[in-house]
Amino acid sequence: MVSFSLDNKIALITGASYGIGFAIAKGFAQAGAKIVFNDLNQDLVNKGIESYKQLGIDAVGYVCDVTVEEQVKEMVSKIEKEIGDINILVNNAGIIKRIPMTEMMSEDFRKVIDVDLTAPFIVSKIVIPSMIRNGGGKIINICSMMSELGRETVSAYAAAKGGLKMLTRNIASEYGEYNIQCNGIGPGYIATPQTAPLRTEGHPFNSFIISKTPAARWGTPDDLIGPAVFLASSASDFVNGHVLYVDGGILAYIGKQPK
Ligand code: NAP
Ligand code: GCO
């Protein structure tokens, strides 16, 4: 019997006070999982806890900068002591800096790589040992259209998300024998604070993305819930190293033909 249930599972979703991470955590809770999340400061964590509570979700939040290995070690150790071992990890926390490459400071490039690529490495390597001890687990890395495509001003982000696709495949390769499945979700253009600057009234990017999306709309964070629950559940136990694009068809489409 194929099961999408997450009953009795503990799920850590990084950077999940709001946005895509919050929506995925909401869906996991609806499927039965215990939700644990982190964010950069207590104010954000408190706001996240309140948002979850308003949905009847008893989420536990921790302050942790996922780029700092010592903070991640401390957070995971606390989770394992206070809640239990992590069965499902979603590496969601991410940033973007939209700067023409020749104008980008190397510090900015490194910061994006640090959050979007090095942090998923750090959190995964700290969580994997308990998954091995427990006979398996699920890791989901939030990739991007930029895991496959480039565009102006997002060189650091595309490099990071392209690397995250390969990190996903490598974790799948290295730990598949321990019944750990590591897959990616590649959202299309989703209406969250991260893309708010692109969706301001009259912004040319708005109509551009609509013309590049067969679904002819921006995605919503809730569009990602079903794919995430699938990849977190036993229904995907033989899916490994795959990036599931949830993009309304962008990657399949050359773009709306001029009339
Ligand atoms: P978002 O609205 O900017 O939220 C990102 C979250 O990550 C925020 O809570 C942020 O905290 C947190 N975060 C950033 N750096 C962190 C760090 N060092 N440690 C811990 N938490 C940190 O982004 P989103 O749109 O929900 O995107 C979530 C993920 O999906 C990202 O990986 C993004 O690259 C990816 N994605 C987004 C889209 C899209 O169209 N929105 C499409 C494809 C992929 P702060 O509030 O403090 O910044
Ligand atoms: C951008 C956008 C995209 C989205 C997403 C697309 O500036 O191009 O922010 O990068 O965030 O990654 O999948």
Q: Contact, 111 vs 155, CB < 8 A?
A: no
In this prediction, residue 259 carries a pLDDT of: 86
Is 253 catalytic? The answer is no
In this prediction, residue 2 carries a pLDDT of: 78
Kindly state the average pLDDT of the residues 99-109: 98
As for ligand 2, residues whose beta carbon falls within 6 Å of it are: 96, 98, 144-146, 151, 154, 157, 187-189, 194-195, 198
Tens digits of per-residue pLDDT, 159-179? 999 999 999 999 999 999 999
Q: pLDDT confidence of 26, banded at 50, 70, 90?
A: very high
Q: What is the rounded CA–CA span in Å between residue 38 and residue 17?
A: 7
What is the pTM (predicted TM-score) of this model?
0.98
CA of 147 to the centre of ligand 2 (A): 10
Tens digits of per-residue pLDDT, 106-138? 999 999 999 999 999 999 999 999 999 999 999
Q: Is 51 exposed, middle or buried (0-12, 13-18, 19+ CB in 10 A)?
A: middle
Place of tokens 């809730």: 222
Which amino acid residue places its CA nearest to atom 3 of ligand 2? 189
Packing angle, helices 19-30 and 225-232, rounded to 10? 60
Kindly state the average pLDDT of the residues 42-66: 97
In this prediction, residue 188 carries a pLDDT of: 98
Place of tokens 């995430």: 228
253: pLDDT strictly greater than 90: yes
Residue 41, C-beta contacts closer than 8 angstroms, at least 6 positions apart: 63
Kindly state the average pLDDT of the residues 1-22: 95
> How many percent of the chain have pLDDT more than 70?
100
As for ligand 1, residues whose beta carbon falls within 6 Å of it are: 14-15, 17-21, 38-40, 44, 65-67, 92-95, 115, 142, 144, 187, 189-190, 192-195
